[in-house]
Structure 1
Amino acid sequence: MRATAEEAASSDAVVLARQVGKTFVSPGGEPLQAVAGLSFGVARAALTALVGPDGAGKTTLMRMMAGLLKPDSGSLAVLGMDVVHSPQAVQDHISYMPQRFGLYEDLSVQENLDLYADLHGISADLRHERFERLLEMTDLTRFVDRPAGKLSGGMKQKLGLTCTLVRSPKLLLLDEPSAGVDPLSRRELWKILQQLVDDEHLSVIVSTAYMDEAERCAQVFVMNRGTFLAQGEPAQLAARARGLTFLAVPPSGMPARDLQARLLDAEALIIDAVPRGGAVHFIRRPEAAAAPLAQPLDGLVAQPRRETLEDAFMMMLRQHHHGESPLPGPHAALPVAGQAAPAAPAGPAIVVRDVVRKFGDFTAVAQTSFDVARGEIFGLLGPNGAGKTTTFRMLCGLLPATSGRLEVAGVNLRTARAQARAHIGYVSQKFALYGNLTVQENLEFFGGAYGLRGAALRERVATVMRQFGLAPAAVSGALPVGYRQRLAMAASLLHHPEILFLDEPTSGIDPLARRAFWRTITALAQSGVTVIITTHFMEEAEYCDRIAIQDAGTMLALGTPQAVRAQAGDVAGSDMNHAFIAVVERSRHALPRLGDRRIVEHTA
């Protein structure tokens, strides 16, 4: 997409690109065009967003802006300087925070700040005033003596941003700064960014997988496969979906995720559908907007709703992908296809009774109790540092409880942890397979670890590769993020587990991949697999049968998404993001009474 004449002539453009391109060589020796001849201008003293699916070229483009990668073609000026000829001059005036910012975890907050100030040559006089303002802005003043490794994920992100800003840059580049961060911390992070733009007239370019974050920006660039699908103000882009967006309430007794699946199956009529606020938001295809909703949607009552940036984003991606999906659909993902899974015992899949976990004098999880039914999708939510990861690791048998009773698949974790693990599958937040092995080699290795041998192993590996659309000879470490997720899921399901644990499996993944991923999860639950998931995407709580919200090691809410929204005091139709923030903030305002808290499960 060519820049407009106004952008080309504007002296206010903080970044000005002309036919910028970048090509890499794939592991197989084939050229891979990451950025394909882009021309654009970025406004000064404003928030600008880059959005797009994994592999769209966002990080490559941002690294070229930072002078860390050299374009293969075209011209790129940042702050009026040619990045190709003067990369160091550009870097002297910008700050760049990559997805994996390098904090020194053994150093305290203050020591990390001092180190980055030393690296940038900030004088003692200037750094004192700068540190004071940044620490106050990020609410880290109380933690200056705490080691960075002891901070929660959200606090680490804020410290990373603070270290990036120890000098006053003219341009700030942030590559997915809120990935893996809870809604409260995300909200605080964006308040900080807006304050920097308002007070210091800072120019900020941020890549993000969250469309609600992109809506905060003055300018949005939608990327896919190295090109721009669109650019403009959020409201202008959202208008592309005007008149096509609707809301439908599922019939009594039907989970919203099942109605979503039915809508997505009507591909000739529906572009996208997602559960939200107990209903399902969906988008009609423009060419079929006037057509009646045919089987299996007869009788569906839908009402118009206001279009959003995410609606337009999903429309553009679906149209650009022409029906392709980054993960397989539910018809292909059933873990027991062609073979019966072992019979499961009766009773709950998971039993948690008065579980406590302490680390020295610190109580990470306090007196937690709940059950999870077989075939249920159960969401474990909470702010960074809330204790949910500790709870999750105890349920997986990776961490013993200090006290209390834990049963998984009818097996006591205290006395038979190895036996319990035979009944579970686990997908970690970070890719945990062997990157130098092929897909087939990884699956054969993990199948052997699960006790599969000979013909049974070969048959099962061939089955999951076919179900998840995986190429046997592909090198695992070279796979795109979506395909790595497929491989991790396939490996976890090789042994027909009764229970599947998913630890933030969609962190940093775009909305298109998340939709497809959840269709797979829905199919697994329908086949009888129990799913336990942690997530920071609150929209994903709507897929769960029940959710639990933890903070400071204490259970704050437990029940269906509808019941938790009601407990939060939200009006009908409000989303889970608002409910989550309301529940956590209400608890934090009542901290002196936490010792007397009694959690009662609500049903709806």
Structure 2
Amino acid sequence: MTDDGRESLVFVEDLRKAFRNKAGEVTEALAGISFAVEQGTLTALVGPDGAGKTTLIRLVAGLMPADSGRLDVFGQPVAEDTQAVQNRIGYMPQKFGLYEDLTVQENLDLYADLHGVDRAARKDIYARLMEMTALGRFTGRPAGKLSGGMKQKLGLACTLVRAPDLLLLDEPTVGVDPLSRRELWEIVLRLVREDGLSVIVATSYLDEAQFCDRAVVMHEGAMLTQGTPDEITEKARGRVHLVAPPAGMNARSLQVKLAREADVIDAVPEAGQVRLVMDRPERPVPSLSGEPLVSTIAAPRFEDGFMAIFSEAAGERKEAKVSFTPRTGKDGDVTVAAEHLTRRFGDFTAVDNVSFSVRRGEIFGLLGPNGAGKSTTFRMLCGLLPASAGKLQVAGADLFTARAEARRRLGYVAQKFSLYGSLNVDENLDFFARAYGLSGRLRRERIAWAKSEFDLGGLAGMPSGQLPGGYKQRLAMAAALLHEPDILFLDEATSGADPRARREFWSRISALSDQGVTVIVTTHFMEEAEYCDRIVIMDGGRDLAQGTPAEIRAHAPAVDGREPTMEDAFIAIIEAARNGRDSAKQEQAA
């Protein structure tokens, strides 16, 4: 029952769920969660990996029983008649089960058959789903050949073939580019606002919570708070400042310095300035070496409120540093040079005549929507995939003739946790140290360095697959840095991490850059592109724009009186290029 006496569609009270691992250790996934969902509303479960969001959604879907507490869906306990509840629910898990060798149409037909959708009704249902998802032109394409964003839209369409009364979405936009993410949210909001569908969505993208009617903020199985997005945003009222860097300093360098201050809850680069959240409203902005900084009070956003709440629960933050042997060479040296880089797969050109260079100590962003060609480019830069044409030099070696030599000077952190989950921390570090050719005393010293530097000593015996999300990232970076590479590749390395872990991660990256390590990064968090010195944006295998963050932002107009963000610029660049290609095709057809 809601506060105003109305019956809840979903009612959760003191819900608890624990799991026991093979060693007999118990992890409390949900520790007394309570909230309610009203009919025709959109509720967000917000929090980092390990917060309990997926466990909660699976309980609501009747896929596992709770240990204790109350869980009613459609006015009845889920445990009493699980099948009756499931017959009225649409559930899209993180890895939705599309059949990649089947076409879009065949996947839809399969899910319609599984749900017993009447064949006479399918024509109207399919027509609306295709119109909603813009997949109508691709019904004959195998699902495996769709972009990541299109796969997510097809997964959503398959979930909706039977018109559920409650839709459960578990991290539907993880790994999806900003343009596809916006399109997916337009579909969800249309379902809620026009059709009155009730939706519960789990997300680690904090800006997505602002679309919702209510948000439940979770951390380590506990509920930190719940309320409307405005109520949570209000927690940061009067605490948020935009701080301009002094002459001769960029926003990233200022962000690193301000983030160390004890009174600062959060500090991130934003549109050439630093967005600062203080620990209380009356707290002044810190000075820099005794000199005051130019700042203005800014309106808070949901992420600011989240960080204010999260900082109280997570406790004091530790400064993340990396003590690294400074790289040889001097600033301005080119460490990566790509000239007319091309990669073809049969008659398909994935990367088409792309050129750029990266200098020593730079953080270089390689951005683009799903299917843009950036992953293929990334793999060529790492020496994992040969180019079809062009020139490519990495760390002074020609990747056409000396890939092995170049790879010895590279470190790589993958989007998915790529270490061995069954091996403990020590065993993973030992394995990768040996793989990088370290032996004897040097191997032992480097492993000791990694455990000390990344605060992994207390977890040395824990299987890496059981580490909390933030520590998984620490271990992955520690393994990539064991051999002190000149160039570090980060492929969506912060996907799914909580904001504090992402801040810590970027603090380490900035420290590495200052010591001469070249960093090349792909990310779908557009605010993270602000940490980069320069950026290239790709789509359709082509280079659409290159430049500093300020130069990239200049591609977008001011929005509602505010300066354009990196996401505004990204979407403007991609849409302009696609509109131009569509116009060219129409002219050719005419």
Bin of the TM-score, shorter chain as denominator length: over 0.9
How far has the Cα of 1:342 moved from its partner?
6.5
In the other structure, the counterpart of 2:208 is 213
Give the 5 Å matches for 1:398-547: 398-470=384-456, 471-547=459-535
In the other structure, the counterpart of 1:60 is 55
Q: Is the 8 A contact 1:78 1:90 kept in 2?
A: yes
Give the 5 Å matches for 1:41-60: 41-60=36-55
Q: Is the 8 A contact 2:433 2:443 kept in 1?
A: yes
Asked if residue 148 in structure 1 is aligned to residue 112 in structure 2, the reply is no
Higher mean displacement: 81-90 or 313-322? 81-90
Q: Partner amino acid for 2:86?
A: Q
Q: Partner amino acid for 1:499?
A: I
In the other structure, the counterpart of 1:602 is none
How far has the Cα of 1:579 moved from its partner?
0.7
Alignment partner of 2:217: what SS? Answer: strand
Alignment partner of 2:371: what SS? Answer: coil
How far has the Cα of 1:5 moved from its partner?
6.4
- Return the match for 1:358 from 339, 344, 352: 344
In the other structure, the counterpart of 2:577 is 587
Give the 5 Å matches for 1:27-106: 27-106=22-101
In the other structure, the counterpart of 1:6 is 3
In the other structure, the counterpart of 1:560 is 548
Deviations along 1:39-82, one digit per CA (max 9) or x if unpaired, are: 22112101111101221111111111110121111110011121
In the other structure, the counterpart of 1:302 is 295
How far has the Cα of 1:166 moved from its partner?
1.1
Q: Is the 8 A contact 1:263 1:297 kept in 2?
A: no
How far has the Cα of 1:26 moved from its partner?
4.0
Q: Is the 8 A contact 2:341 2:387 kept in 1?
A: yes
Q: Is the 8 A contact 2:331 2:359 kept in 1?
A: no
Q: How far, CA to CA, are the matches of 1:449 and 1:53 in structure 2?
A: 31
Q: Partner amino acid for 2:442?
A: A
In the other structure, the counterpart of 1:347 is 333
Q: How far, CA to CA, are the matches of 1:61 and 1:205 in structure 2?
A: 10
Q: Is the 8 A contact 1:344 1:498 kept in 2?
A: no
Mark the runs of 5 or more structure 2 residues left unpaired by the alignment: 586-590
> Kindly tell me: are residues 344 and 296 of structure 1, through their superposed partners in 2, closer, same or farther at Cα, counting changes over 3 Å?
closer
Mark the runs of 5 or more structure 1 residues left unpaired by the alignment: 596-604
How far has the Cα of 1:343 moved from its partner?
6.5
Q: Partner amino acid for 1:303?
A: T
Q: Partner amino acid for 1:445?
A: F
> Kindly tell me: are residues 549 and 110 of structure 1, through their superposed partners in 2, closer, same or farther at Cα, counting changes over 3 Å?
same
RMSD of the alignment, in Å?
Answer: 1.8
Q: How far, CA to CA, are the matches of 2:79 and 2:255 in structure 1?
A: 48
> Kindly tell me: are residues 456 and 23 of structure 1, through their superposed partners in 2, closer, same or farther at Cα, counting changes over 3 Å?
same
Deviations along 1:504-551, one digit per CA (max 9) or x if unpaired, are: 111122222211111111111111110000011100100000000000
- Return the match for 2:225 from 203, 221, 230: 230
Q: How far, CA to CA, are the matches of 2:339 and 2:99 in structure 1?
A: 38
Alignment partner of 1:330: what SS? Answer: coil
Q: How far, CA to CA, are the matches of 1:29 and 1:345 in structure 2?
A: 53
How far has the Cα of 1:18 moved from its partner?
1.9
How far has the Cα of 1:573 moved from its partner?
3.1
Deviations along 1:150-174, one digit per CA (max 9) or x if unpaired, are: 1111111111111111110000000
- Return the match for 1:280 from 257, 274, 287: 274
Higher mean displacement: 566-575 or 542-551? 566-575
Alignment partner of 1:20: what SS? Answer: strand
Q: How far, CA to CA, are the matches of 1:194 and 1:495 in structure 2?
A: 48
> Kindly tell me: are residues 344 and 293 of structure 1, through their superposed partners in 2, closer, same or farther at Cα, counting changes over 3 Å?
closer
Alignment partner of 1:555: what SS? Answer: strand
In the other structure, the counterpart of 2:588 is none
Higher mean displacement: 443-452 or 252-261? 252-261
In the other structure, the counterpart of 2:256 is 261
Higher mean displacement: 20-29 or 512-521? 20-29
How far has the Cα of 1:330 moved from its partner?
3.2
Higher mean displacement: 433-442 or 532-541? 433-442
Deviations along 1:350-372, one digit per CA (max 9) or x if unpaired, are: 00001111111111111111100
Q: How far, CA to CA, are the matches of 1:120 and 1:334 in structure 2?
A: 57
In the other structure, the counterpart of 1:600 is none
Number of aligned residue pairs: give it.
Answer: 581
> Kindly tell me: are residues 559 and 187 of structure 1, through their superposed partners in 2, closer, same or farther at Cα, counting changes over 3 Å?
same
In the other structure, the counterpart of 1:367 is 353
- Return the match for 2:314 from 299, 315, 321: 321
Alignment partner of 1:250: what SS? Answer: coil
Q: How far, CA to CA, are the matches of 1:111 and 1:344 in structure 2?
A: 57
In the other structure, the counterpart of 2:163 is 168
How far has the Cα of 1:480 moved from its partner?
1.9
Asked if residue 191 in structure 1 is aligned to residue 186 in structure 2, the reply is yes
> Kindly tell me: are residues 454 and 550 of structure 1, through their superposed partners in 2, closer, same or farther at Cα, counting changes over 3 Å?
same
Q: Is the 8 A contact 1:345 1:410 kept in 2?
A: no
How far has the Cα of 1:472 moved from its partner?
1.9
Q: How far, CA to CA, are the matches of 2:413 and 2:584 in structure 1?
A: 33
Alignment partner of 2:3: what SS? Answer: helix
> Kindly tell me: are residues 107 and 459 of structure 1, through their superposed partners in 2, closer, same or farther at Cα, counting changes over 3 Å?
same
Alignment partner of 2:211: what SS? Answer: coil
Q: How far, CA to CA, are the matches of 1:85 and 1:566 in structure 2?
A: 58
Alignment partner of 1:6: what SS? Answer: coil
> Kindly tell me: are residues 241 and 405 of structure 1, through their superposed partners in 2, closer, same or farther at Cα, counting changes over 3 Å?
same
Alignment partner of 2:63: what SS? Answer: coil
Q: Partner amino acid for 2:226?
A: Q
Q: Is the 8 A contact 1:354 1:404 kept in 2?
A: yes
Higher mean displacement: 539-548 or 16-25? 16-25
Alignment partner of 1:235: what SS? Answer: helix
Taking every aligned residue pair, what percent have the same amino acid on both sides?
54
How far has the Cα of 1:252 moved from its partner?
2.9
> Kindly tell me: are residues 118 and 296 of structure 1, through their superposed partners in 2, closer, same or farther at Cα, counting changes over 3 Å?
farther
Q: How far, CA to CA, are the matches of 1:271 and 1:447 in structure 2?
A: 36
Q: Partner amino acid for 2:428?
A: N
Q: Partner amino acid for 2:28?
A: Q
Q: Partner amino acid for 2:470?
A: G
Q: How far, CA to CA, are the matches of 1:499 and 1:182 in structure 2?
A: 25
Q: Is the 8 A contact 1:347 1:410 kept in 2?
A: no
Q: Partner amino acid for 1:283?
A: V
Q: How far, CA to CA, are the matches of 1:424 and 1:27 in structure 2?
A: 36
Deviations along 1:326-378, one digit per CA (max 9) or x if unpaired, are: xxx332x2343xxx666689830100001111111111111111100010000
Higher mean displacement: 245-254 or 56-65? 245-254
